[in-house]
Amino acid sequence: MSYLCCMQPTKSFTVCGQFVDILKKQIYPAVIHIQEGKIRSIEKSSAENISLQQYILPGFIDSHVHIESSMLIPSEFARLAVVHGTVGTVSDPHEIANVCGIAGVDYMIENGKQVPFKFNFGAPSCVPATVFETAGAVIDSTAVEALLQKPEITYLSEMMNFPGVLSKDPEVMKKIAAAHKAGKPVDGHAPGLRGESAKQYIEAGISTDHECFTAEEALDKLQYGMKIIIREGSAARNFEALIDLVEDHPNSILFCSDDKHPDSLVTGHINKLCARAVAKGIDLFHVLKAACINPVLHYNLPVGLLQIDDDADFIVVKDLTDFEVAETYVNGILVAKDGQSLIQSVPATIINHFDCKPVSISDLTVTENAYPSEDGLIPVMEALDGQLITNKLFLSGKLSDGQWVSDTEQDILKMVVVNRYHHAPVAKCFIKNIGLKKGAIASSVAHDSHNIVAVGVDDESLAAAINLVISEKGGVSCYADTHHQVLGLPVAGLMSTHDGYKVAEAYTAIDQMAKDLGSTLQAPFMTLSFMALLVIPHLKLSDMGLFDGDRFSFLK
């Protein structure tokens, strides 16, 4: 295998240390012989000849991740991830597919091939995610079937249209059938689905879910044969609610990040989940099954498991508590050592779909008759820190000169979604718990269609923040008075072409500015990115209007 970064496997070498045999639940001193990128032998050795201060185990797998949410192209994501012992991902290119269609999926595959890392991409199942928003592309069942024939496509990505599965929508069922015909698993996405509905969804042939936010929901799905992926990302955090399931269901639990911003990726990845699980007293081998073994077996990934003749995809860690990674190998190539990535950045091209004119203040006003009600209450979306779900509230709004405006005292702020693909009226609503006291934030990372989403305390700041994103043809921005920051994301309005560590540094600065303006959220921009995600209840805003996720229709 050849990589543009010119990294090639060493012809022959050995690694010594405490060998962690996860399947046999054994740890013993060993010498591992690697030749031409393959594991050729594993020999037990006497302890006096082996360093007992390091442990050798299979590499970590992120079992469900949208690379685009890192704001990095795949090759840069790999540069950062290998430092933490991640050797592969199960990657859903759903985000770029909603912007650029099949060309976006091909972009991710080709860029990922340029570095030694095991990207395993899926065929996006929901492009567009719903008919209640404007996306940049359509991928129908015929296109999905064609994608599934590609060797680089290892599964059907998360089937978010669970109402379509339950109603046996013909187009939905054709996509699932195409995956089964190709012998590839189908990922699920069914937040809150329980009982007979969950059983029906699973019996359609859907094998995983990463959206469970209670143990009761996960147990409901486990009993019907589904595997549960425990998610701990930059916004959605379900680790604490679900981690105890690993003890009783060690073969049916996997770990994932789903969406991870660049600042989070710099500090850690799946290794952090392993450390937290072990610290809670969860059996070490059960934890490592979830992190290293179960993903490879479930998705039939071309990733080695430290067995004879496997690809030499493994890591050396300093201990089995903190999982500090000393070395990471992919196909026998040393890709990270002592906290430093050895993968070099590669040239990146740009693909995009952005045709949006600057907005004016008048585009953003909400007149009094927009919410005609006798009690003076208006619908308000309540953002929940660490969750993708939102609450649907009806609260007293603030009127000024015949217009509904932001109310910082109640933390009820105006939120808007601007169509990025063509000129259209701006959709508006109000949101609670963002916390800004002044200024505005905006982003073209807005799941799933990636129109521009923004929240602000006044229309002047909102317009300015939105126009900063438009000027970059995609990005995240923060504006207050005369001070502003913007991080351009020219690749589909989702990803940067710059060095991953520099992108993380720039993102950290803009994230801090949002917090300085009053936001108390752990990840303001990540939370903002999900406020237009219609397939997660209860109330969301698309470019077409305010959406009731429970009734799956626009709020009337």
β-pair partners for 60: 86
Mean pLDDT of the chain: 94
Q: Is 17 left (phi over 0), alpha (psi -120 to 50) or beta?
A: left
Residues in Cβ contact with 113 at an 8 Å cutoff, skipping those fewer than 6 apart: 3, 119
pLDDT at 3 over 70: no
Percent above pLDDT 90 for the chain: 88
Residue 96: closest CA among 427, 510, 542, 489: 489
Q: DSSP assignment of 50-93, as one string?
A: S-TT-EEEEPEEEEEE-GGGGTB-HHHHHHHHGGGTEEEEEE-T
Residues in Cβ contact with 172 at an 8 Å cutoff, skipping those fewer than 6 apart: 125, 159, 161, 164, 165
Residue range 69-81: mean pLDDT, rounded: 97
Q: Which helix (H) or strand (E) holds 436?
A: none
Residue range 5-33: mean pLDDT, rounded: 88
The model's confidence at residue 388, banded by pLDDT at 50, 70 and 90, is confident
β-pair partners for 240: none
pLDDT at 8 over 80: no
| Predicted local confidence at residue 116, as pLDDT | 98
pLDDT at 20 over 50: yes
pLDDT in tens, 423-435: 999 999 999 999 9
- State the Cα–Cα distance between residues 498 and 193, nearest whole angstrom: 40
Residue 63: closest CA among 258, 214, 238, 248: 258
Helix (H, G, I), strand (E, B) or coil at 487: strand
The model's confidence at residue 5, banded by pLDDT at 50, 70 and 90, is low
- State the Cα–Cα distance between residues 62 and 90, nearest whole angstrom: 6
CATH superfamily, with its number, for domain 12-341: Metal-dependent hydrolases (3.20.20.140)
Residue range 175-190: mean pLDDT, rounded: 97
| Predicted local confidence at residue 6, as pLDDT | 52
β-pair partners for 478: 441, 485
Residue range 471-493: mean pLDDT, rounded: 96
Q: How many CB atoms lie within 10 A of CB 215?
A: 16
Q: Is 174 left (phi over 0), alpha (psi -120 to 50) or beta?
A: alpha
pLDDT at 324 over 60: yes
Helices (H), ranges, 113-249: 141-148, 162-166, 170-182, 195-203, 215-222, 239-242, 245-248
Beta-sheet pairing, 60-65 with 86-91: parallel
Residue 327: closest CA among 335, 342, 319, 337: 337
pLDDT at 2 over 60: no
Percent above pLDDT 70 for the chain: 97
Residue ranges per domain, the chain?
12-341, 361-554
Q: Which of 249-253, 516-520, 548-552 has the lowest mean pLDDT?
A: 548-552
The model's confidence at residue 294, banded by pLDDT at 50, 70 and 90, is very high
The model's confidence at residue 48, banded by pLDDT at 50, 70 and 90, is low
DSSP state of 267: H
| Predicted local confidence at residue 122, as pLDDT | 98
| Predicted local confidence at residue 372, as pLDDT | 76
Q: Which of 1-5, 106-110, 167-171, 216-220 has the lowest mean pLDDT?
A: 1-5
| Predicted local confidence at residue 373, as pLDDT | 73
- State the Cα–Cα distance between residues 354 and 488, nearest whole angstrom: 13
| Predicted local confidence at residue 167, as pLDDT | 95
The model's confidence at residue 387, banded by pLDDT at 50, 70 and 90, is confident
The model's confidence at residue 47, banded by pLDDT at 50, 70 and 90, is low
| Predicted local confidence at residue 376, as pLDDT | 80
Residue range 184-202: mean pLDDT, rounded: 95
- State the Cα–Cα distance between residues 397 and 430, nearest whole angstrom: 9
